Structures are given as structure tokens and as C-alpha cells.
Amino acid sequence: MTKKKVTIRDVAKEAGVSVATVSRLINNISYISQETEQKIQEVMKRLDYQPNEIARGLAKQKSNTIALIIPDITNPFFPELVIAIEEFAKLKGYNLILVNSHDADLKDPRFWKDFQSRYIDGFILASFDFNEEVLKGIEKLKIPFVRVDRAADFQSNDSIGVDNYKGAVIAVEHLIEIGCQKIAHISGPGSFSPSIDRIRGYKDTISKYFPNQSPIVFQGDFSMEAGKQLTQRMLEEHPDIDGIFLGNDMMAIGSLKALKILKIQVPADIALIGFDGIKITEMVEPELSTINQPIYNIGVAATNKLIHFIENTQDTNQYDLDVRLIKRESTLGFIRK
């Protein structure tokens, strides 16, 4: 026979107090006498009463739940980010809800209205091309949020990320150091801040080392398929390319696949370098050189900043969020013609 669940009313009746008094104790929202508190605690323990966490959250207007909104759970960058955020949130007493949504969803006012009804304390936004109208709509929710990766805006205090411009410069300079003389770039969407900074870093470096050469930029969408298709198209238009800097590792893997189909040797004929440092870059053949982002540290820093926003406390922590070059086979075996 199923045991009947003990309710707050059962506790109140047994302790000889009102339901409101028990609620005040559970939610710690006002003073009750030490004698009354002890009596209620004894009854709760004897009856094995477990407070309803959702109800507690509603009473305190705090659910100890944060959400992470990402654009593509199939991209290995984001599961690595999720692990970091979930582990740190749990350490701080918060639960995590994962929301996989596309730009179209986030630009729909109904999405945010539904989102508000979930009683989320705050959220981390790792996707989405902001415009002023949508940003104002999000701010009207009065829910703390932090932006990372594609959503980051480093003019704002609510963003966590890396120096994408610096990473791009390092990537292109590495291709130049190994002997590449005609380097192209396959970027992410031109409206995303990281893409803009990586394009700028690429163009400035090409202008510095090859002032008579025009930059070659093809715009992708951070997907493997974009890397594959744009590499094929790029080589049709510019067959003398000998180095490609990809806006992320997934596009670099797609580019590698395209070059294998075309029977072009990597790195002997064309050197490839990506951006992100996801683990799968070590599992392809040849292994991919990349600009490594400290993904775990980004997740921890973003979560910590968000919790400080939620709790109205100051974040004094310092995090190592610098990018670094990882040299692997896709560049180190390049043969200068």
C-alpha cells in the first residue's frame, strides 16, 4: 500500500500551529520563537516531511535554478560548456535547465513570456544575434543574465569571453610562419561579435604581412557542412590558396573533409587551422591545429558572474580566459612550394 505523502497541513496540525507559521519557518521569511521552531522541527523530523521545493521557490521568489540557452547541442563546444556550468552551479546550490533554441525562437516575444513563467533566477545566453529591440525585451523580464560566446558583447558588463581578435592574429601568423603565402578565411556569421573580431584579426594580419594581397573571406555559419561547401567553392575561385583559417573547429573539420574529397593533401598542399579547441580536433586525421579557448573556465566564470548578479554580490574572482595556439599535424607538415 502506498504511503500517504505528508503535507504542510499535517505538520501544522501535529505541531498545533498555523500553516502560515510552518511556511515562515521553511522559507525563513520572518521571525518565529525558538520554542515554536523547535516544536515544528521535531514534528517535521518525526513525520519525515519533505518541503515542496517549487512551492518554497515561489514563496521566496527564488527557485535556485538557472538556464543555459544554446544554439546547437550537436556542436561539441557546447556540451563542454554545459559540463562546466552545471558542475559549478551545483557547487553553489543551483540547478541547471538546458534550452536548445535557434535565433528565430529567441526573437519571438512568446518565447521570453513562456521563459519568464518558469521561475528561473537567471540565465546564460550562448547564442543569438542581438538587436536593440530584442535586447530591450529581455531586459524587461528583470531576470539577471550573462552572455557568452556568440552572444557576447564586450562593451557590456554582462559578457564573458576571450579576445577573438588576438586569437585570429595568432592563427594567421602561425600559417605565415610555416610558409603559407595565400591565406583565406572562412568566417562565422558576420553579425556575431566573435566572427567580426576574427575577421578583423585575419584582415589586419594579411594587410600587415602581404600589403599587396586582398583578403579572401567566405562567410559560413559555424557548421561542418558550411566548412565543406565553402572550401570547395573557395578553391574553385582561388585554386592557389595554401592556407585556410576557419572561424571555428567544426567548419575546419568540414574543410578537411572537402579537401580529402578533392584529393588535396593536408598539410602538404594546404594547411588548416580552426578556432575553439574542442576535443574532436584530436580525433580527426590529420589532427587539427586550433586556437584553444578555455571552455571550462568560460563556463565557470559566466556561472559565477550570473550568481553574483542574482544574489546582488560583487564578483572579485579573476579567471584565465586567454587563448593559446595548439600546433598539430594539419599545419606542421606544410611544404612551401
* Mean pLDDT along residues 1-7: 66
What pLDDT, on a 0 to 100 scale, did the predictor assign at position 138?
74
What pLDDT, on a 0 to 100 scale, did the predictor assign at position 94?
92
Output the average pLDDT for the chain: 86
Task: Please say whether the beta carbons of 249 and 72 come within 8 A.
Answer: no
Note the helical H segments in 132-265: 132-139, 164-177, 193-209, 224-237, 249-261
If pLDDT is split at 50, 70 and 90, which confidence band does 296 have? very high
Cell of 161: 569571453
Q: What is the pLDDT of residues 122-168, one digit of tens each?
A: 899 886 665 666 666 677 777 888 888 766 666 667 788 899 999 99
Task: Please say whether the beta carbons of 145 and 138 come within 8 A.
Answer: yes
One of 3.90.1150.10, 3.20.20.70, 3.40.50.2300, 2.40.10.340 is the CATH number of 65-161+295-311, namely 3.40.50.2300
Task: Please say whether the beta carbons of 252 and 77 come within 8 A.
Answer: no
Q: Count the Cβ atoms, other than its own, within 10 Å of residue 227.
A: 30
What pLDDT, on a 0 to 100 scale, did the predictor assign at position 62?
67
What pLDDT, on a 0 to 100 scale, did the predictor assign at position 3?
59
Which of the 8 DSSP states describes residue 4?
P
If pLDDT is split at 50, 70 and 90, which confidence band does 71 have? confident
What pLDDT, on a 0 to 100 scale, did the predictor assign at position 108?
72
What pLDDT, on a 0 to 100 scale, did the predictor assign at position 324?
96
Phi, psi of 282 (to 5 degrees): -85, -10
Task: Please say whether the beta carbons of 305 and 146 come within 8 A.
Answer: yes
Q: What is the pLDDT of residues 238-260, one digit of tens each?
A: 999 999 999 999 999 999 999 99
**Separation of alpha carbons 44 and 63, rounded Å:** 22
Instruction: Give the residue with greater pLDDT, 297 vs 118.
Output: 297
* Mean pLDDT along residues 56-72: 72
| 37, containing H or E segment | helix 34-47
In this chain, the answer to whether the domains covering 8-60 and 65-161+295-311 adopt an identical fold is no
Sheet holding 145-148, edge to edge: 95-100, 65-70, 122-125, 145-148, 159-160
Hey, where are the domains in the chain? 8-60, 65-161+295-311, 164-293+324-332
What pLDDT, on a 0 to 100 scale, did the predictor assign at position 1?
42
Task: Please say whether the beta carbons of 280 and 328 come within 8 A.
Answer: no
Q: What is the pLDDT of residues 155-187, one digit of tens each?
A: 667 788 899 999 999 999 999 999 999 999 999
The CATH fold assigned to 8-60 is 434 Repressor (Amino-terminal Domain) (1.10.260)
The CATH fold assigned to 164-293+324-332 is Rossmann fold (3.40.50)
If pLDDT is split at 50, 70 and 90, which confidence band does 11 have? confident
